[in-house]
Structure 1
Amino acid sequence: MALGLPDDPTKQRRVLLGLLPILLLVAYWYWPHSGAVEEVDAMRTRLENLEARNSQARLRAPQSAQLEERLAQFERHIQRLEQLVPRSEEVSRLLNTISERADQIGVEVARFNPGATAPGPHYNRRVFEMTVLGSYHEVGRFLSEIGSLPRIVTPINLNMQPDDRRERDQGQGLRASFQIETYVLPEPQQATPANEGASTGA
């Protein structure tokens, strides 16, 4: 940058002496503080980016809250449903309850055999084969009692035939063959030696 200095040496000296503090101030600012200025600029840019991200997050916050609430409702619904699904140790008690209801109603249990078990990702499906003898009224009441148990137990694949060999006080004898279907919560899987070795990193 050119400086318009006067021709007189004395005046030139005075002008230079007057400019010296300004030049020193400029040097003091730029040399030691140049790195600090760059750092402040970088921090300001980062702050602006963070504020922009926060603004976007605030815009998405209502949707996230709604999604979390729907997820919580879904989990509560699953918990209520799982209260109706028997555990493995409850199955024997359910079968005893079914036999007791048959005695109370007056139907004769001619067959009660366990069927296949189909493992599922969340529940295991269990089926039991059953045949009962009784009147139309007794068999209908018995099937209704099974469906009203406190756990999910459903009579399926019902096949009814007249039983002429058995005369009932309440009408024609009936032979009803059907399956009892229920879904059981699987027992927690115990760790195998291979899994234990993998978990320990051996």
Structure 2
Amino acid sequence: MNLQELNELDINNIGNWPTPVKAFIIILLCVGVGVGWYYFNTEEQLVALDTAEKKEQTLRLEFERKQAKAVNLEKYKKQLEEMKQSFGAMLRQLPNKTQVADLLVDVSQTGLASGLEFELFDPQDEVPREFYAELPIKLVVYGSYHELGSFISGLAALPRIVTIHDVSVSPRKDGELVMSATAKTYRYLEEEAN
């Protein structure tokens, strides 16, 4: 088949065209339909597939993170329960408003029982914090080294929480030591909300 024969092909009489030309036209139409199908249908599906794969990766990572938490859920619950019990035990060590006076007496009695003499015992105003209040007590006591140690040890042994801050120890002329400090005890504030 030559170029002259191709120019003489009649578009109205396709059935009489030579077989190689018909095959070429059919292949060309198939390729055109395939390319058209890809651009009008398959391309959108491929974009949607890519988006879905990215979402799958994100969801998979989130699932793995949540699964790791779920695996340890019982441990977390047990730890939370232990923390609640520990917190409850600590709260019981904080005096309520009615027990503060007794605690002040306990601090002063501890000092006297240790053999110390009080130069200053001055309860300060309550300092509110997030869920508790600090009750500072300015102290100036004097006695021997061992009496001061016994006093601090006695405060630590009280059933309520008492901490010592701003400790300063200096010698007196008579050979005894003077200790000035701030003893702080704490009171839980939730009772006032009830």
Q: What TM-score, normalized to structure 2? A: 0.58
Which residue, 126, 142, 148 being the options, matches 2:135?
126
Task: State the distance in 1 between where 2:179 and 2:75 align.
Answer: 50
Task: State the distance in 2 between where 1:177 and 1:69 align.
Answer: 44
Which residue of 1 is the match for residue 153 of structure 2?
Answer: 144
Which residue of 1 is the match for residue 169 of structure 2?
Answer: 160
Which structure carries more strand by proportion?
1
Percent pairwise identity: 27
- Whether 1:76 aligns to 2:90 is no
Which residue, 177, 184, 187 being the options, matches 1:184?
187
Task: State the distance in 2 between where 1:178 and 1:74 align.
Answer: 32
TM-superposition CA deviations, 1:12-48 (whole Å, max 9, x none): xxxxxxxxxxxxxxxxxxxxxxxxxxxxxxxxxxxxx
2:94 counterpart letter in structure 1: V
Task: State the distance in 2 between where 1:183 and 1:131 align.
Answer: 20
Contact 2:131–2:190 under 8 Å retained in 1: no
Seen in structure 2, the aligned counterparts of structure 1 residues 64 and 113 have a Cα distance that, compared at 3 Å, is: same
- Whether 1:107 aligns to 2:103 is no
Shift of 1:107: 0.9
SS of alignment partner, residue 129 of structure 2: coil
Seen in structure 2, the aligned counterparts of structure 1 residues 110 and 187 have a Cα distance that, compared at 3 Å, is: farther
Contact 1:108–1:134 under 8 Å retained in 2: yes
Task: State the distance in 2 between where 1:64 and 1:139 align.
Answer: 49
SS of alignment partner, residue 151 of structure 1: coil
Task: State the distance in 1 between where 2:168 and 2:109 align.
Answer: 22
TM-superposition CA deviations, 1:97-146 (whole Å, max 9, x none): 12222222221111011124221221111211011111122122112211
TM-superposition CA deviations, 1:132-181 (whole Å, max 9, x none): 111122122112211221111012111112111xx3xxxx2111110001
Structure 2 runs not aligned, ≥5 long:
1-62
Contact 1:88–1:187 under 8 Å retained in 2: no
Task: State the distance in 2 between where 1:63 and 1:134 align.
Answer: 55
Shift of 1:187: 5.6
Contact 1:118–1:124 under 8 Å retained in 2: yes
Which residue, 89, 97, 108 being the options, matches 2:98?
89
Structure 1 runs not aligned, ≥5 long:
1-55, 192-202
